[in-house]
Amino acid sequence: MDINKPRAQEIVRAEATALDQGAEADAVWVEKIEHLSQLCLGQAQTHIAFIGTQILAKSVNRNVDLYAIKPRHAVGNDRAYSARSLCHGVLVPLSADLGFHIGVTGREPLNNQPYFRMTHLGDQTPVHSMSAVAFAYMLDLVDELQQMNSEEQARAALRAFISVRRGYQPRYLTSSGAISVRPETLASVIFTFVQDDSESGRRAQAAVAGLMDAAVGPARVESGRINDPSRDSPGDVCIRSELQPEIWEKAFEVRDKPVSSGDVQVFGQKCVSMGVREVALVMLSTQQPMLDTIYLDDWAHGLGIGLTLFYGWESIVGQALFWSGLPKPEAAVQAVRQITERLIAIEASPAGVEQWIAATRDARAEEE
Protein backbone atom coordinates (compact mmCIF):
# COMPACT_ATOMS: atom_id res chain seq x y z
CA MET A 1 0.00 0.00 0.00
CA ASP A 2 1.37 3.37 -0.99
CA ILE A 3 0.59 5.86 1.78
CA ASN A 4 -0.06 9.17 0.03
CA LYS A 5 2.65 11.43 1.43
CA PRO A 6 1.16 14.78 0.29
CA ARG A 7 -2.08 13.74 1.96
CA ALA A 8 -0.18 12.69 5.08
CA GLN A 9 1.50 16.10 5.18
CA GLU A 10 -1.86 17.84 4.87
CA ILE A 11 -3.26 15.83 7.77
CA VAL A 12 -0.33 16.53 10.09
CA ARG A 13 -0.45 20.24 9.32
CA ALA A 14 -4.22 20.32 9.78
CA GLU A 15 -4.04 18.73 13.23
CA ALA A 16 -1.20 21.02 14.30
CA THR A 17 -3.16 24.04 13.08
CA ALA A 18 -6.24 22.88 14.97
CA LEU A 19 -4.21 22.79 18.17
CA ASP A 20 -2.83 26.26 17.44
CA GLN A 21 -6.38 27.53 17.10
CA GLY A 22 -7.40 26.16 20.47
CA ALA A 23 -8.88 22.79 19.58
CA GLU A 24 -8.78 20.20 22.35
CA ALA A 25 -6.82 16.98 22.02
CA ASP A 26 -8.46 13.68 22.92
CA ALA A 27 -7.85 13.29 26.65
CA VAL A 28 -7.62 9.50 26.57
CA TRP A 29 -4.98 9.51 23.84
CA VAL A 30 -3.13 12.36 25.51
CA GLU A 31 -2.80 10.19 28.60
CA LYS A 32 -1.61 7.22 26.54
CA ILE A 33 1.00 9.17 24.58
CA GLU A 34 2.21 10.85 27.76
CA HIS A 35 2.56 7.48 29.47
CA LEU A 36 4.57 6.08 26.56
CA SER A 37 6.71 9.22 26.53
CA GLN A 38 7.55 8.74 30.19
CA LEU A 39 8.40 5.08 29.65
CA CYS A 40 10.77 6.08 26.86
CA LEU A 41 12.64 8.81 28.73
CA GLY A 42 16.38 8.25 28.56
CA GLN A 43 15.99 5.13 26.43
CA ALA A 44 13.84 3.56 23.73
CA GLN A 45 13.17 6.93 22.11
CA THR A 46 12.73 5.28 18.72
CA HIS A 47 9.41 3.88 19.93
CA ILE A 48 8.04 7.44 19.96
CA ALA A 49 8.86 7.92 16.28
CA PHE A 50 7.40 4.52 15.47
CA ILE A 51 4.04 5.05 17.19
CA GLY A 52 3.78 8.48 15.56
CA THR A 53 4.34 6.86 12.16
CA GLN A 54 1.74 4.19 12.86
CA ILE A 55 -0.84 6.77 13.93
CA LEU A 56 -0.14 8.82 10.81
CA ALA A 57 -0.49 5.81 8.49
CA LYS A 58 -3.87 4.97 10.00
CA SER A 59 -4.92 8.62 9.69
CA VAL A 60 -4.33 8.47 5.95
CA ASN A 61 -5.85 5.06 5.24
CA ARG A 62 -7.88 3.07 7.76
CA ASN A 63 -7.21 -0.16 5.83
CA VAL A 64 -3.44 -0.16 6.39
CA ASP A 65 -1.91 -3.21 8.05
CA LEU A 66 0.12 -1.73 10.90
CA TYR A 67 2.03 -4.97 11.43
CA ALA A 68 3.21 -5.29 7.82
CA ILE A 69 5.69 -2.42 8.02
CA LYS A 70 8.08 -3.66 5.30
CA PRO A 71 6.36 -4.45 1.98
CA ARG A 72 9.29 -6.47 0.66
CA HIS A 73 8.68 -8.92 3.50
CA ALA A 74 4.91 -8.96 2.95
CA VAL A 75 4.54 -10.21 -0.61
CA GLY A 76 0.87 -10.58 -1.46
CA ASN A 77 -0.31 -8.29 1.34
CA ASP A 78 -1.70 -5.23 -0.44
CA ARG A 79 -2.23 -3.50 2.92
CA ALA A 80 1.47 -3.48 3.83
CA TYR A 81 3.25 -0.12 3.91
CA SER A 82 6.75 1.23 4.41
CA ALA A 83 6.89 2.70 7.90
CA ARG A 84 10.47 3.80 7.34
CA SER A 85 9.57 5.77 4.20
CA LEU A 86 6.58 7.49 5.80
CA CYS A 87 8.58 8.42 8.88
CA HIS A 88 11.55 9.72 6.89
CA GLY A 89 9.50 11.50 4.25
CA VAL A 90 6.77 13.09 6.35
CA LEU A 91 7.08 12.80 10.11
CA VAL A 92 10.74 13.80 10.39
CA PRO A 93 10.60 17.07 8.40
CA LEU A 94 7.20 18.12 9.76
CA SER A 95 8.17 17.47 13.37
CA ALA A 96 11.03 19.93 12.92
CA ASP A 97 8.84 22.42 11.06
CA LEU A 98 5.89 22.29 13.46
CA GLY A 99 7.82 21.90 16.69
CA PHE A 100 6.92 18.49 18.08
CA HIS A 101 9.59 16.01 19.14
CA ILE A 102 9.44 12.45 17.83
CA GLY A 103 12.00 11.12 20.29
CA VAL A 104 14.96 10.94 17.93
CA THR A 105 16.31 13.46 15.46
CA GLY A 106 18.29 11.46 12.93
CA ARG A 107 17.27 11.44 9.29
CA GLU A 108 16.18 7.80 9.55
CA PRO A 109 14.57 7.25 12.97
CA LEU A 110 13.47 3.71 12.14
CA ASN A 111 17.00 2.77 11.11
CA ASN A 112 17.44 1.84 14.76
CA GLN A 113 16.88 -1.35 16.70
CA PRO A 114 14.59 -3.15 16.94
CA TYR A 115 12.86 -1.83 13.81
CA PHE A 116 15.89 -2.07 11.54
CA ARG A 117 15.99 -5.86 11.90
CA MET A 118 12.25 -6.56 11.85
CA THR A 119 10.52 -8.22 8.94
CA HIS A 120 7.14 -7.37 10.48
CA LEU A 121 5.90 -6.03 13.78
CA GLY A 122 5.56 -8.92 16.20
CA ASP A 123 8.18 -11.16 14.57
CA GLN A 124 9.93 -11.66 17.93
CA THR A 125 12.90 -9.48 17.03
CA PRO A 126 14.86 -9.09 20.30
CA VAL A 127 14.20 -5.88 22.22
CA HIS A 128 16.68 -4.41 24.69
CA SER A 129 15.68 -5.28 28.24
CA MET A 130 15.81 -1.61 29.24
CA SER A 131 13.09 -0.77 26.73
CA ALA A 132 10.96 -3.92 26.95
CA VAL A 133 8.23 -2.30 29.04
CA ALA A 134 7.97 0.68 26.68
CA PHE A 135 7.90 -1.62 23.65
CA ALA A 136 5.15 -3.79 25.14
CA TYR A 137 3.02 -0.75 25.92
CA MET A 138 3.61 0.61 22.43
CA LEU A 139 2.40 -2.69 20.98
CA ASP A 140 -0.82 -2.35 22.95
CA LEU A 141 -1.35 1.05 21.34
CA VAL A 142 -0.73 -0.41 17.89
CA ASP A 143 -3.29 -3.13 18.61
CA GLU A 144 -5.81 -0.44 19.50
CA LEU A 145 -5.01 1.56 16.38
CA GLN A 146 -5.38 -1.50 14.18
CA GLN A 147 -8.93 -2.00 15.46
CA MET A 148 -9.99 1.52 14.49
CA ASN A 149 -12.42 1.57 11.58
CA SER A 150 -12.11 5.22 10.53
CA GLU A 151 -9.43 7.76 9.73
CA GLU A 152 -11.16 10.25 12.03
CA GLN A 153 -10.45 8.07 15.07
CA ALA A 154 -6.79 7.88 14.11
CA ARG A 155 -6.62 11.63 13.57
CA ALA A 156 -7.79 12.16 17.14
CA ALA A 157 -4.82 10.09 18.25
CA LEU A 158 -2.56 12.06 15.90
CA ARG A 159 -3.69 15.37 17.37
CA ALA A 160 -2.98 14.03 20.85
CA PHE A 161 0.46 12.83 19.72
CA ILE A 162 1.36 16.26 18.37
CA SER A 163 0.01 17.97 21.48
CA VAL A 164 1.95 15.81 23.92
CA ARG A 165 5.18 15.74 21.96
CA ARG A 166 5.25 19.51 21.62
CA GLY A 167 5.89 19.50 25.33
CA TYR A 168 9.03 17.44 24.78
CA GLN A 169 10.54 19.80 22.21
CA PRO A 170 13.67 21.35 23.77
CA ARG A 171 13.51 25.12 24.15
CA TYR A 172 16.84 26.91 24.35
CA LEU A 173 17.30 30.30 25.89
CA THR A 174 19.52 32.68 23.98
CA SER A 175 21.56 35.57 25.31
CA SER A 176 20.84 39.10 24.20
CA GLY A 177 24.24 40.28 25.35
CA ALA A 178 27.73 39.70 23.98
CA ILE A 179 29.29 36.36 24.91
CA SER A 180 33.05 36.31 25.02
CA VAL A 181 36.12 35.04 26.79
CA ARG A 182 39.77 35.82 26.34
CA PRO A 183 41.82 33.41 24.23
CA GLU A 184 43.99 32.44 27.19
CA THR A 185 41.01 31.43 29.35
CA LEU A 186 38.83 29.67 26.78
CA ALA A 187 40.42 26.26 27.34
CA SER A 188 39.82 26.36 31.10
CA VAL A 189 36.21 27.46 30.62
CA ILE A 190 35.59 24.53 28.26
CA PHE A 191 37.37 22.12 30.61
CA THR A 192 35.18 23.09 33.56
CA PHE A 193 32.02 22.95 31.48
CA VAL A 194 32.75 19.46 30.14
CA GLN A 195 33.98 18.09 33.46
CA ASP A 196 30.79 19.20 35.19
CA ASP A 197 28.62 16.93 33.02
CA SER A 198 29.77 15.25 29.82
CA GLU A 199 26.18 14.53 28.70
CA SER A 200 27.37 11.25 27.18
CA GLY A 201 30.08 13.04 25.21
CA ARG A 202 27.83 15.72 23.74
CA ARG A 203 29.54 18.66 25.42
CA ALA A 204 33.05 17.69 24.37
CA GLN A 205 32.05 16.93 20.79
CA ALA A 206 30.16 20.21 20.49
CA ALA A 207 33.16 22.10 21.85
CA VAL A 208 35.55 20.54 19.33
CA ALA A 209 33.10 21.19 16.49
CA GLY A 210 32.67 24.80 17.57
CA LEU A 211 36.43 25.29 17.70
CA MET A 212 36.76 23.92 14.18
CA ASP A 213 33.93 26.22 13.06
CA ALA A 214 36.02 29.12 14.31
CA ALA A 215 39.13 27.77 12.59
CA VAL A 216 37.82 26.97 9.09
CA GLY A 217 34.18 28.11 9.00
CA PRO A 218 31.05 26.08 9.84
CA ALA A 219 30.27 25.33 6.19
CA ARG A 220 33.19 22.89 6.08
CA VAL A 221 32.64 21.24 9.46
CA GLU A 222 30.35 18.28 10.08
CA SER A 223 29.58 16.80 13.47
CA GLY A 224 27.13 13.94 13.80
CA ARG A 225 24.76 13.24 16.65
CA ILE A 226 25.82 10.87 19.39
CA ASN A 227 25.13 7.24 18.39
CA ASP A 228 23.50 8.25 15.12
CA PRO A 229 23.30 5.08 12.96
CA SER A 230 22.88 7.15 9.80
CA ARG A 231 26.19 8.96 10.27
CA ASP A 232 28.50 8.36 7.33
CA SER A 233 31.47 10.49 8.39
CA PRO A 234 34.73 8.94 9.60
CA GLY A 235 34.97 10.79 12.92
CA ASP A 236 33.02 12.68 15.55
CA VAL A 237 34.03 15.96 13.93
CA CYS A 238 35.18 16.18 10.32
CA ILE A 239 36.38 18.91 7.98
CA ARG A 240 35.67 18.85 4.26
CA SER A 241 38.15 20.00 1.65
CA GLU A 242 37.66 23.62 0.64
CA LEU A 243 38.35 22.91 -3.03
CA GLN A 244 36.68 19.48 -3.19
CA PRO A 245 33.84 19.46 -0.64
CA GLU A 246 33.03 15.81 -1.34
CA ILE A 247 36.40 14.85 0.19
CA TRP A 248 37.06 14.61 3.91
CA GLU A 249 40.20 16.59 4.69
CA LYS A 250 40.52 15.97 8.44
CA ALA A 251 38.79 13.73 10.96
CA PHE A 252 38.73 14.14 14.75
CA GLU A 253 37.77 11.52 17.30
CA VAL A 254 36.79 13.02 20.66
CA ARG A 255 37.38 10.80 23.69
CA ASP A 256 36.70 11.61 27.34
CA LYS A 257 38.04 8.22 28.50
CA PRO A 258 41.70 7.12 28.40
CA VAL A 259 42.90 6.27 24.90
CA SER A 260 45.39 3.50 24.13
CA SER A 261 47.74 3.20 21.17
CA GLY A 262 45.43 0.48 19.88
CA ASP A 263 42.50 2.90 19.96
CA VAL A 264 44.52 5.36 17.90
CA GLN A 265 45.36 2.71 15.33
CA VAL A 266 41.78 1.48 15.01
CA PHE A 267 40.55 5.00 14.33
CA GLY A 268 43.43 5.64 11.94
CA GLN A 269 42.61 2.53 9.93
CA LYS A 270 38.96 3.56 9.74
CA CYS A 271 39.99 6.94 8.36
CA VAL A 272 42.32 5.34 5.82
CA SER A 273 39.46 3.16 4.58
CA MET A 274 37.37 6.31 4.05
CA GLY A 275 40.11 8.24 2.28
CA VAL A 276 41.03 10.66 5.09
CA ARG A 277 44.71 11.65 5.19
CA GLU A 278 44.78 13.83 8.33
CA VAL A 279 43.69 12.14 11.55
CA ALA A 280 43.44 13.61 15.05
CA LEU A 281 42.42 12.30 18.44
CA VAL A 282 41.30 14.72 21.11
CA MET A 283 42.06 12.94 24.39
CA LEU A 284 40.32 14.63 27.29
CA SER A 285 40.52 12.24 30.23
CA THR A 286 42.45 13.56 33.20
CA GLN A 287 43.81 10.00 33.50
CA GLN A 288 45.15 9.93 29.94
CA PRO A 289 48.69 8.47 29.80
CA MET A 290 51.29 9.76 27.38
CA LEU A 291 51.38 7.55 24.30
CA ASP A 292 54.46 6.46 22.37
CA THR A 293 54.46 9.28 19.83
CA ILE A 294 57.51 8.02 17.91
CA TYR A 295 55.97 4.58 17.45
CA LEU A 296 52.58 5.98 16.41
CA ASP A 297 54.13 8.50 14.02
CA ASP A 298 56.07 5.70 12.32
CA TRP A 299 52.91 3.62 12.11
CA ALA A 300 50.94 6.53 10.61
CA HIS A 301 53.74 7.25 8.12
CA GLY A 302 53.50 3.66 6.94
CA LEU A 303 49.83 4.23 6.12
CA GLY A 304 50.50 7.55 4.45
CA ILE A 305 48.49 9.61 6.93
CA GLY A 306 49.22 12.49 9.24
CA LEU A 307 48.46 11.85 12.92
CA THR A 308 47.94 14.50 15.59
CA LEU A 309 47.28 13.78 19.26
CA PHE A 310 45.72 16.51 21.39
CA TYR A 311 46.07 16.08 25.14
CA GLY A 312 43.39 18.10 26.91
CA TRP A 313 41.90 21.38 25.77
CA GLU A 314 44.89 23.74 25.79
CA SER A 315 46.52 22.43 22.63
CA ILE A 316 43.44 22.14 20.43
CA VAL A 317 42.06 25.51 21.56
CA GLY A 318 45.40 27.15 20.82
CA GLN A 319 45.64 25.56 17.37
CA ALA A 320 42.05 26.44 16.44
CA LEU A 321 42.42 30.08 17.42
CA PHE A 322 45.81 30.40 15.71
CA TRP A 323 44.57 29.01 12.37
CA SER A 324 41.37 31.04 12.37
CA GLY A 325 41.23 33.86 9.86
CA LEU A 326 40.26 36.18 12.71
CA PRO A 327 42.51 37.80 15.31
CA LYS A 328 42.68 35.60 18.40
CA PRO A 329 40.33 37.70 20.58
CA GLU A 330 37.67 37.69 17.87
CA ALA A 331 38.26 34.01 17.13
CA ALA A 332 37.62 33.20 20.80
CA VAL A 333 34.31 35.07 20.68
CA GLN A 334 33.38 33.23 17.49
CA ALA A 335 34.30 29.88 19.04
CA VAL A 336 32.05 30.53 22.04
CA ARG A 337 29.14 31.36 19.77
CA GLN A 338 29.71 28.35 17.54
CA ILE A 339 29.97 26.02 20.53
CA THR A 340 26.54 27.27 21.60
CA GLU A 341 25.13 26.40 18.17
CA ARG A 342 26.80 23.00 18.19
CA LEU A 343 25.43 22.20 21.66
CA ILE A 344 21.92 22.85 20.38
CA ALA A 345 22.51 20.84 17.19
CA ILE A 346 23.82 17.82 19.07
CA GLU A 347 20.85 18.02 21.44
CA ALA A 348 22.66 18.84 24.64
CA SER A 349 20.23 19.57 27.43
CA PRO A 350 18.67 23.04 27.59
CA ALA A 351 20.19 23.33 31.06
CA GLY A 352 23.59 22.55 29.57
CA VAL A 353 23.25 25.27 26.93
CA GLU A 354 22.21 27.76 29.58
CA GLN A 355 25.19 26.71 31.72
CA TRP A 356 27.56 27.30 28.80
CA ILE A 357 26.16 30.76 28.19
CA ALA A 358 26.34 31.59 31.88
CA ALA A 359 29.90 30.27 32.14
CA THR A 360 31.15 32.39 29.27
CA ARG A 361 29.37 35.44 30.61
CA ASP A 362 30.82 34.88 34.06
CA ALA A 363 34.30 34.49 32.65
CA ARG A 364 33.94 37.72 30.71
CA ALA A 365 32.67 39.61 33.75
CA GLU A 366 35.53 38.39 35.95
CA GLU A 367 38.12 39.42 33.38
CA GLU A 368 36.67 42.89 33.06
- When pLDDT is cut at 50, 70 and 90, the band that residue 191 belongs to is very high
| Residue-wise pLDDT tens digits, 108-136 | 888 878 888 899 998 889 888 888 999 99
Helices and strands, number each (H, E), in the chain: 14, 5
Angle at 249 between CA 313 and CA 204, to 5 degrees: 25
Q: How far is CA 113 from CA 1, 229, 243, 307, in A?
A: 24, 10, 38, 34
- Rounded to the nearest integer, the mean pLDDT of the chain is 91
Residue ranges of the domains in the chain? 5-166, 183-367
CA atoms within 13 A on the CB side of 220: 19
Mapping DSSP to helix (H, G, I), strand (E, B) and coil, where does residue 236 land? coil
Task: Tell if the pTM clears 0.75, that is, is over it.
Answer: no
Give the integer Cα–Cα distance in Å for 63 and 60.
Answer: 9
- When pLDDT is cut at 50, 70 and 90, the band that residue 178 belongs to is low
- When pLDDT is cut at 50, 70 and 90, the band that residue 227 belongs to is low
Per-residue pLDDT, 78:
93
CATH of domain 183-367: 3.40.1350
| Residue-wise pLDDT tens digits, 39-57 | 998 777 899 999 999 999 9
